Structure 1
Amino acid sequence: MAVPSSAPPGPRGGRSSSNAADYAVDPLGFLTGAAREFGDVVSLTPTNVLLAHPDDIGRVLLDREGRVVKIGEAVRRGPMGFPSAMMNSEGADWERKRARLRPAFRSDRLDHLEHAARDGVTRLLDTWHDGLEIDVHDEMSRLAMGVGAVHIAGRPLGERGETLIRAVAAIMRLTSAPRLPMWLPTRTNRGLRRALRDFDAALAALITENPPGEDAHALGRLLADDPPFPEVRDELATLLMSGYETTANALTWLFHAVGADPEAGARMGEPEFASAAAKEAMRLYPPAWVISRETVGPLEVGGYTLAAGVTLGLSPWVVHRDGRWFPDPEEFRPERWLNGGRPGHRHAYFPFGAGPRGCLGASMALREVEVIAAHLCSRVRLEPVRPEEVRPRPALALQPVGVRAVVRFLG
């Protein structure tokens, strides 16, 4: 039974502003250390609690009791909030927006996505030559934007896509660094404003150029009912940033992991193994490294009662690397997913969230990664260059930094 009068334990008693500073410097290390030292319910600040047990995570993500919302008003109004998007909406407004987009992610669109993915790999390989050293994330970003644009907007974006890639890269880099409030004219804030302006301009042009009446793809669905421009802009922004960036990061982390495991690399042409390897890469390097919810009423978790207004942190990075649910959690082992393999708890693996607010395009994103990886690995091998320098950068998504490789064509 929950004990309302007690508070969860945490670093410095969970009451110190130093915790927020430590989190800003090294969020992955801070969250991991906090969970390992203090348990499955950790007080980080008086209004921020980390949940690290799959029982509690499943309960929050499924939210059958209506005790949480996806994100609070303060975050929605921030510079990266995109307040009119489905992912930042609640209640009937969220249901309407999700229903509008759902047809664009139906299973019958999968063949179209796979064709775009294979075609994208072929065109990318035409720009490579044997012995070429590449920045893997840069290359996967171009590939993912090309494939994502065809799926979301129905056509390649050309130079418009390059503008979006540069803007998103700048946004991700700048939001990963500690920064002062946006109204202060710091160098970081000025750079972020420029990136957001470029992003907005490219989105506006893309929306304006969309042919009328083509509603099979996501952008067409968005424009079908002639909604207000800010709503289309915010929705398209989140689709591109979450879809394209997630895919680019997942592919880069997958090739980084496979590059250190020659046996895995040799099997990537096998569809079942490629699927397992993609799942395993997203276990070790989950695109959404932390998911937030906010309590709107008292919530009992792990023997504690949390008040309304508490921000809950659910970290796939922490849970996916917990030995209780995954033996040898720090090792890249695709075999754990073969032959129906599952984690030690049904809610211990959640790279795309779960429940009604889970990612609408999760299955398609995973399939896109599988198809691209299998098709590319059937043609080339990517030899790692200085893998010891690779590190994760926890921005809006978990970005890979320093993943370089030499291209070796097979056969």
Structure 2
Amino acid sequence: MAAPTPLSSAPPGPRGGRSSSNAADYAVDPLGFLTSAAREFGDVVSLTPANVLLAHPDDIGRVLLDREGLVAKIGAATRRGPMGFPLAMMNSEGADWERKRARLRPALRSDRLEGLERAAREGVARLVDTWHDGLEIDVHDEMSRLAMGVGAVHLAGRPLGARGETLIRAVAAIMRLTSAPRLPMWLPTRTNRDLRRSLRDFDTTLAALIAEHPAGEDDNALGRLLADGPPFAEVRDELATLLMSGYETTANALTWLLHALGGRPEAAERMAEPGFAAAAAKEAMRLYPPAWVISRETVRPLEAGGYTLPAGTTLGLSQWVVHRDGRWFPDPEEFLPERWLDGGRPGHRHAYFPFGAGPRGCAGASMALREVEVIATALCSRVRLEPVRPERVRPRPALALQPVGVRALVRPR
């Protein structure tokens, strides 16, 4: 790895870190580009004059915990655009962020886990009853329907029926279309037209859910959002990000976990053992983190790895890169749930951050992990999923890390 140079000099990077070709390479293969950049140039990598990748847990921990007011969650320029949802908690700052987080906190309390677990087990039972021996399934499609059903009860207090299917199709299209390099939204390309149509469908369905929510029912996330009478746009943005980060993240994590278990049948047989399902879920999120990169923007100069990064620098923190770094995880490419058993930890306390960390970490992280654990355990107790053409499986880095090509044959136990 490149050795740091004195403070205030620019970090090294591909093509000197100043070429527009880097942005093009990133657009074509973001996972490969970020991985090779970190392996070749070290823990602080200049990707463009205003974009820097941080790959050492020391720097990542400092940025995510940020006790010095050095970074902001997201810059004003990034908030704009069709996918920004600028009024949601996750895209807010300061007192506005604190107000929105406090509003949602009761709906994400740990004492709601019992209801979530019950909904998850009931959802698995209904799904498995529609399968038969030898049925070939698209695992991600099935987990999407399951996660939407469970998530809807948790977020909105009731099943969504046909509206759930509309949301699934809209989110799937948004994920697919945002994973590919595309031209600016104002250009009338087919991809842009399809994306705008999917966003309209998404918006229309969210508006209907909000309008139909029973008055005074505030024991779920949507009810909490509506309780104080905020503007519609704020409720819409918040609900959109809860669905995107909750339902989609859960569906992806479940699919990746079942794919990984398919490659290690002996691990699937251990899912009922105390602690093993939780370890397997954590390990799947290490190998295939649903959030594969997160960003922060420096608001003051930041020192990292021997370099001073000026205010206005966009920092990339990639779970995909750090989670697969052999310095922190021996045999990093292997699915090894055992590494988390008996108090096992990564080689650095900030080397594992599937949900972020610090005050801006995911508020529902513990619930999401528990939901994945409960659903996977219930599935493995009812069926075996035999992988079909696992060599064709690949990750698609969109707004979340989507699994593509995960198919399996259902075998009842």
For each residue in 1:132-172, what CA deviation from the matched residue of structure 2 results, as whole angstroms up to 9, or x when unmatched?
Answer: 00000000000000000000001100000000000000000
For each residue in 1:157-208, what CA deviation from the matched residue of structure 2 results, as whole angstroms up to 9, or x when unmatched?
Answer: 0000000000000000000000011000000000000000000000000000
One-letter code aligned to 2:332: P
Corresponding residue number in structure 2 for 1:171? 174
Q: 1: distance between equivalents of 2:381 and 2:25?
A: 44
Corresponding residue number in structure 2 for 1:77? 80
Provide the secondary structure at the position in 2 that maps to 1:141. Answer: helix
For each residue in 1:271-290, what CA deviation from the matched residue of structure 2 results, as whole angstroms up to 9, or x when unmatched?
Answer: 41111000000000000000
One-letter code aligned to 1:341: G
1:217 deviates by: 0.5
Q: Percent identity?
A: 87
Corresponding residue number in structure 2 for 1:102? 105
**Structure 2 matches for 1:282-301, cutoff 5 A?**
282-301=285-304
1:4 deviates by: 4.1
Instruction: Check conservation: 1:292, 1:311, Cα contact below 8 A.
Output: yes
One-letter code aligned to 2:330: P
**2:52 is the counterpart of 1:49:** yes
Corresponding residue number in structure 2 for 1:67? 70
Instruction: Check conservation: 2:140, 2:255, Cα contact below 8 A.
Output: yes
Corresponding residue number in structure 2 for 1:309? 312
Question: How high is the TM-score relative to the length of structure 2?
Answer: 0.98
Q: 2: distance between equivalents of 1:57 and 1:151?
A: 32
Q: 2: distance between equivalents of 1:270 and 1:403?
A: 25
Instruction: Check conservation: 1:2, 1:305, Cα contact below 8 A.
Output: no
Instruction: Check conservation: 1:2, 1:302, Cα contact below 8 A.
Output: no
Corresponding residue number in structure 1 for 2:205? 202
Provide the secondary structure at the position in 2 that maps to 1:378. Answer: helix
1:252 deviates by: 0.2
The runs of 4+ residues in structure 1 deviating greater than 2 Å are 1-5
Provide the secondary structure at the position in 1 that maps to 2:342. Answer: helix
Query: Which ranges of structure 1 fall in alignment gaps of 5 or more residues?
Result: none
User: Aligned to 1:90, which of 82, 90, 93?
Assistant: 93
Corresponding residue number in structure 1 for 2:223? 220
Instruction: Check conservation: 2:284, 2:335, Cα contact below 8 A.
Output: yes
Instruction: Check conservation: 1:2, 1:301, Cα contact below 8 A.
Output: no
Provide the secondary structure at the position in 2 that maps to 1:171. Answer: helix
1:3 deviates by: 3.7
Corresponding residue number in structure 2 for 1:155? 158
**2:262 is the counterpart of 1:255:** no
1:214 deviates by: 1.1
Instruction: Check conservation: 2:389, 2:407, Cα contact below 8 A.
Output: yes
Question: How high is the TM-score relative to the length of structure 1?
Answer: 0.99
**2:186 is the counterpart of 1:186:** no
User: Aligned to 1:36, which of 35, 39, 48?
Assistant: 39
**2:13 is the counterpart of 1:10:** yes
1:78 deviates by: 1.6
1:269 deviates by: 2.1
Provide the secondary structure at the position in 2 that maps to 1:294. Answer: strand
Q: Alignment RMSD, CA only?
A: 0.9
Q: 2: distance between equivalents of 1:171 and 1:209?
A: 24
1:268 deviates by: 1.4
1:262 deviates by: 1.2
For each residue in 1:108-149, what CA deviation from the matched residue of structure 2 results, as whole angstroms up to 9, or x when unmatched?
Answer: 100010000001101101111111000000000000000000
